[in-house]
Amino acid sequence: MRHYSTFAIEQFTKHVQHDTAAFNWLINNNYPELVAVLDAIRDDKKAFKFLIDGKHFVLAAFVNTIWDDEKAFRFLIDNKMFDWAACANIINGDDKAEAALTHAGKVHFVYLARAIQARIHEDGDRSTTPWGVMKNLLNFRKNDE
Q: Tens digit of pLDDT for each residue in 16-32?
A: 999 999 999 999 999 99
Instruction: Supply the pLDDT for residue 1.
Output: 77
In a domain, 33, yes or no: yes
User: Is residue 29 in a domain?
Assistant: yes
User: Closest by alpha carbon to 70, among 57, 83, 89, 96?
Assistant: 89
Do residues 51 and 33 lie in contact, with contact meaning Cβ atoms separated by under 8 Å? yes
Low-confidence residues in the chain, pLDDT < 50: 127, 129, 131, 140-145
Largest CA distance in the chain: 46
In a domain, 120, yes or no: yes
- Domain, as residue range, for 117: 6-144
Is residue 42, in this structure, part of any structural domain at all?
yes
> How many domains is the chain partitioned into structurally?
1
Instruction: Enter the pTM of the model.
Output: 0.85
Residue 1 lies in a domain: no
